[in-house]
Amino acid sequence: MWNEMGARAREAARQLAQTSDQERIQAICLMADRLECNSASLMVANSQDLQAARQAGLDEALIDRLHLSSTRIRAMADGLRALAGLPDPLNQVLEEVKRPNGLRIRKLSVPLGVIALIYESRPNVTADAAGLCLRAGNAVILRGGSEARHSNLFIAAVLRAALAEAGLMEDAVQLMDDPGRDGARALMGMHEHVDLLIPRGGKGLIDQVVRQATVPVLRTGEGICHIYVDRQADPGMAADIIHNAKVSRCAVCNAVECMLIHRDAANTALPLIAAKLLDSSVTIRGDAATQALVPQAQAADEGDWGREYLSLTIASRVVDSLEEAIAHINRYGSGHSEAIITNDQAAARRFLSQVDAAVVYHNASTRFTDGGEFGFGAEMGISTQKLHARGPVGLRELTSYKYVIEGEGQTR
């Protein structure tokens, strides 16, 4: 049964690959319009999920993430409209050569094909992901969490009706109603029909998919980001950047989780940084050297290094050198975003070169790791793997390419 869903997605992908940019744009705009004009019914479906969540005793933060207000539904529709406004990622000539034998070789961007998504809670992901996949010419199989089941089913039905209305195959967007986990398991091994599987959610979900799936996977989402305050850092800049990277939004993957302070800078910089953080009710978990300078800091233990708090908590450690900071980051980081604050250009160059992460910063907040902030538009997440895409996964990263070769009878 799940395999048939895969086969239908494959067929829809073949047809989608032949649509024009204008057709895909129209379909996405229709999806946005139909979501908005079904706002009231969607809220009714959503209320069933909310009620079940309350009965199951889910915590308020989780229930809030599930909740769809009319404002949130409008934002979902506007997100789709913004996608429609981005440039076509397909049929771009990425490279072109004419060989001495006369062959003309062009490398053209094409859709990936069928993308599968396994995700949790927030029902707006259903519309966002469908829109991103469709804009890049891909069919999508969505496997949402059971807690958002009624909302997801309703959203998917609206999106599919809009696709049909736009004259495209509604199987370009399919939702797996998978109360057990056999659908998710099937996706992880569906080699014939799944070109890319993206897990979106907490670390537990992502780890499980990465360790079980044998189809190609894009690992996104885990952000254990560090900011290193070098010996020659401007203490005020360090305090501003660390405060911003922790406090502006603490539950996102580009928030800072650990600060590393050079011993020579600790006396002046650490009290300043700590005061600013403590003012915003941030809990600091520090090593002995941090505690000596910041009496309010709790004692950190080994479990604090490499920990993604996703809350108003930050780890702090005093290091003896740039090398020690780099080694700490390469050991405990998740390969997401890492920053150095320094006025020493040579130190910055070493840090930027030696730290192994998707995005490395000199004198800026890790919070900028975001497709929108890069000027790339909406994104599916931040890739922390090195294969295919690293950093923001936007429309371009949801494409592949093919070589098109034209000759006049050449043989080898």
Q: Point out which residues bind its own copies (CB under 8 A).
A: 14, 17-18, 97, 99, 103, 105, 112-113, 189, 191, 195-196, 210-214, 216-218, 234, 237, 240-241, 243-245, 248, 330, 348, 352-354, 356-365, 367-369, 373-375, 385-388, 390-391, 400-412
Enter the tokens of residue 296.
């309010």
- Nearest CA to 390 out of 355, 359, 354 is that of 359
Residue holding tokens 């780099």?
326
**CB of 355 within 8 A of CB of 330?**
yes
H or E segment to which residue 142 belongs: strand 139-143
**CB nearer to its own copies: pick between 119 and 361:** 361
- Nearest CA to 173 out of 143, 146, 211 is that of 143
Q: At what angle do helices 149-165 and 21-37 cross, to 10 degrees?
A: 130
**CB nearer to its own copies: pick between 58 and 82:** 82
* Burial of 58 (C-beta count, 10 Å sphere; 0-12/13-18/19+): middle
Determine the Cα–Cα distance for residues 279 and 324; give it in Å rounded to an integer. 29
User: What torsion, rounded to 10 degrees, do the Cα atoms 118, 139, 253, 307 define?
Assistant: 30
Report the nearest approach of its own copies to the CB of residue 41 (Å): 37
Enter the tokens of residue 377.
């538009």
Report the nearest approach of its own copies to the CB of residue 236 (Å): 8
Q: How far is CA 91 from CA 34, 138, 293, 403, in A?
A: 29, 13, 58, 11
**CB nearer to its own copies: pick between 159 and 359:** 359
Core vs surface per residue 154-187: b (16+ CB within 10 A) or e: bbbbbbbebbeebebbbbbbbbbebeeeebbebb
Q: E-strand spans in 237-293?
A: 256-262, 283-286
**CB nearer to its own copies: pick between 4 and 211:** 211
Report the nearest approach of its own copies to the CB of residue 392 (Å): 8
Report the nearest approach of its own copies to the CB of residue 246 (Å): 11
Report the nearest approach of its own copies to the CB of residue 411 (Å): 4
3-state secondary structure of 281: coil
Report the nearest approach of its own copies to the CB of residue 256 (Å): 11
**CB nearer to its own copies: pick between 23 and 165:** 23
Enter the tokens of residue 342.
């320094």
Report the nearest approach of its own copies to the CB of residue 308 (Å): 17
**CB of 19 within 8 A of CB of 123?**
no
End-to-end CA distance of the chain: 46
Report the nearest approach of its own copies to the CB of residue 79 (Å): 19
**CB nearer to its own copies: pick between 94 and 288:** 94
**CB nearer to its own copies: pick between 210 and 312:** 210
3-state secondary structure of 173: strand
**CB nearer to its own copies: pick between 212 and 268:** 212
Determine the Cα–Cα distance for residues 362 and 336; give it in Å rounded to an integer. 15
**CB nearer to its own copies: pick between 29 and 86:** 86
* 286 dihedral zone (left: phi>0; alpha: psi -120 to 50; beta): beta
Report the nearest approach of its own copies to the CB of residue 98 (Å): 10
Q: Within 13 Å and on the Cβ side, how many CA atoms surround 392?
A: 17
**CB nearer to its own copies: pick between 175 and 398:** 398
Report the nearest approach of its own copies to the CB of residue 67 (Å): 26
Report the nearest approach of its own copies to the CB of residue 254 (Å): 9
Angle at the Cα of 362 (from 359 to 367), degrees rounded to 5?
A: 55
**CB nearer to its own copies: pick between 4 and 408:** 408
